[in-house]
């Protein structure tokens, strides 16, 4: 079987890629997708650690809850994006800077 630290390492790599996506991209869709990538990386870590302690299925249950949270966040995030697009006809994050000092 696969040693668990490789699974956790993969989760760390994916999480970092997601953070880079959120921090540097201008397109709101890519930012939302990078958030999904981060949530997936966290799910992988949960499942990996549950494999290490299989007395109960707490890790996998929490993964189900994370998937539910991700679904609701995507729904609301896409709604925000649609209303943003209707107001200013682009989803560029550089233009949404009214509150920037």
Q: Which two tokens stand for residue 3?
A: 């040693």
- Contact status: 96 vs another protein (CB under 8 A): no
Whether 79 contacts 87, CB under 8 Å: no
Helix (H, G, I), strand (E, B) or coil at 101: coil
Helix (H, G, I), strand (E, B) or coil at 27: strand
- CA 73 to chain CA centroid, Å, is 10
Footprint (CB under 8 A) of another protein, residues 24-83: 24-27, 29-30, 32-34, 36-37, 40, 43-44, 47-48, 50-54, 56-58, 60-61, 63-65, 67-76, 78-83
List contacts with another protein (CB under 8 A).
1-10, 12-14, 16-21, 23-27, 29-30, 32-34, 36-37, 40, 43-44, 47-48, 50-54, 56-58, 60-61, 63-65, 67-76, 78-83, 85, 91, 94
């Amino acid at each position: 079987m696969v040693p668990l630290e490789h699974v956790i390492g993969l989760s760390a790599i994916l999480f970092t890629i997601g953070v880079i996506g959120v921090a540097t991209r201008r397109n709101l869709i890519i930012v939302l997708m990078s958030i999904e990538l981060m949530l997936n990386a966290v799910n992988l870590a949960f499942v990996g650690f549950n494999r290490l302690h299989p007395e109960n299925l707490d890790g996998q249950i929490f993964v189900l809850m994370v998937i539910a949270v991700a679904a609701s966040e995507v729904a609301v995030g896409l709604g925000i994006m649609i209303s943003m697009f209707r107001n200013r006809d682009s989803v560029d994050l550089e233009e949404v800077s009214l509150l920037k000092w």
